[in-house]
Structure 1
Amino acid sequence: MMSIKSMTIKAMDESGKGLAELATLSAVDNDGDTYESGAFGWKAGGEQWAMMMPAHDRRKMPFGKARVYEEGDTALAELHLNLNTEAGREWHQALLFDFATGSPIQEWSYGYNVIDMDYRVSGSSRVRVLKKLDIDEVSPVLRGAGVGTRTIAIKGAELKHVRFDGLITELGIMASAIDADPSVASASGLKQLREIHDAIGRVFGGDDAAADEQAAKAARSADSEHATFIRFQSRAHLPQG
């Protein structure tokens, strides 16, 4: 039986290629699972391929493929949208639109079957150790199986001032909560904050002229006319007469 977990899109470019983070192997995730090294990379060549499907709907035509592999303590998926198909082009534009308009709301998850697993006791908790997973598909969904599954970076999307307003507000709330009780920040949350800190440092540490050119190129390439993800997502969730 296929199970589903959330994932985070790290990047996607104009050619339809991107990168997603599936899991930190040594961490215990939101479902109470942890991973053995090789859980994702146990097949020949240390990688496996999965189809990209809209909202886990197998009745729809796949709009791309994902190469799943491990790098150090992280499981990653290299995304390839098929821009030679209408579905691939529409999803590409829909993702760019989602990132460029307001706060990104698109969430993601991946489907998998457990090939091998075990349990271990950690304190008073019983943790499932996933040893071998067969990744079945990667999907943009209305709501992911976990938290933090929004598209967080698509190269070529225009940056809007309204996005910064919301981001600053959310970071302010987060900072106040951590100041009041540092224990509210999980290990994965602290890791994400470090990544945000490093990303901001790269922005301010880069060459201004190059940054301006990249921003101009991003603005030219963004197309906010194609919100077709609404059509794909809503159709899959309408009651069937």
Structure 2
Amino acid sequence: MMQIKSMTIKSMDEAGKGLAELATLSAVDNDGDTYDRGAFSWKPGGHQWAMMMPAHDRRKMPFGKARVYEEGDKAFAELNLNLKTSAGRDWHQALLFDLETGDPVQEWSYGYNIVDMDYRVSGNSRVRVLKRLDVDEVSPVLRGAGVGTRTLSIKGAKLRDEHLAGLITDLGAVASAVDADPAAVSATGLKQLREIRDAITRVLAGDDGSGDPAKAASTVATDTALTHFMQHQESLRRFGR
């Protein structure tokens, strides 16, 4: 029987290629499940392919494909929207519109069948250990199976004033945390903070409202760096780190 879990879209570009985070393998998720290493990468080649379907509706035409794989303690889906079809183009534009209009509300989930599983007692809880999963589809849905499934970024979406307010608050929280304990920031976090610093410096040094293409490119770089930061913050909130 097919089951469903939430996922988070992390990025997507103009060509319809993107990345989604499916799971942190060592964590216990909102459904009370955890994962063995290899749960997603057990098939030949270390990955598996799934269709992208609207709202888990298998009667509809797929609008793309996703390559599911593991990297470190994470499981990801490499998304490929088929922009040669009207369904792929329509979804691409719908996702951009969702990001550019008000707060993003589009949620996501993926469907899977359990090939192998077990149970483990942890404290007073009985945790289901998913050892092998067959992921057969990825879907944008009205409401995901859990929390934190909204689209985080699609290249081309703009940062607006209402987004910057929350971003500045998050940056302030990070600054306070770093002041209290510089060692608390991971190597990945430091890299992201350097990207933010460098991108903002480029924009502030050259943004005089002239419409120069080079300066516009710097703005895109800032959008990208700040998006990386927001993705990192969402991960901290979602997995309680």
Task: Provide the secondary structure at the position in 1 that maps to 2:163.
Answer: helix
Deviates more, 1:150-159 or 1:43-52: 150-159
- Equivalence for 2:196: 203
Could you tell me how far apart the structure 2 residues matched to 1:166 and 1:106 are? Answer: 19
Q: Which has the higher contact order (CA 8 A, sep 6+)?
A: 1
Task: Provide the secondary structure at the position in 1 that maps to 2:93.
Answer: helix
After TM superposition, the score normalised by the length of structure 2 is 0.75
Q: CA deviation at 1:153?
A: 1.2
Counting aligned pairs with the same residue, the percent is 69
Structure 1 segments, 4+ long, off by >6 Å, are 193-198
Q: CA deviation at 1:215?
A: 2.9
Q: CA deviation at 1:100?
A: 1.1
Could you tell me how far apart the structure 2 residues matched to 1:216 and 1:25 are? Answer: 32
After TM superposition, the score normalised by the length of structure 1 is 0.75
- Aligned CA RMSD, in angstroms, stands at 2.9
Task: Provide the secondary structure at the position in 2 that maps to 1:149.
Answer: coil
- Equivalence for 1:48: 48
Task: Provide the secondary structure at the position in 1 that maps to 2:88.
Answer: helix
Summarize deviations over 1:172-206 as a string: whole Å, max 9, x none.
9xx7xxxxxxxxxxxxxx99x99888645522233
Q: 1:43 to 1:155 in 2, by over 3 A?
A: same
- Equivalence for 2:177: none
* 8 Å contact kept, 2:202–2:218: no
In the TM superposition, 1:65-214 aligns within 5 A as: 65-165=65-165, 199=192, 201-206=194-199, 208=202, 212-214=216-218
Q: CA deviation at 1:59?
A: 1.2
Matched letter for residue 88 of structure 1: G
Q: 1:100 to 1:195 in 2, by over 3 A?
A: farther
Instruction: Point out where structure 2 has 5 or more consecutive residues left out of the alignment.
Output: 174-183, 204-213, 224-241
Q: 1:10 to 1:118 in 2, by over 3 A?
A: same
Aligned residues: 203
Q: 1:86 to 1:199 in 2, by over 3 A?
A: same
- Equivalence for 1:232: none
Instruction: Point out where structure 1 has 5 or more consecutive residues left out of the alignment.
Output: 176-189, 220-241
* 8 Å contact kept, 1:102–1:163: no
Task: Provide the secondary structure at the position in 2 that maps to 1:49.
Answer: strand
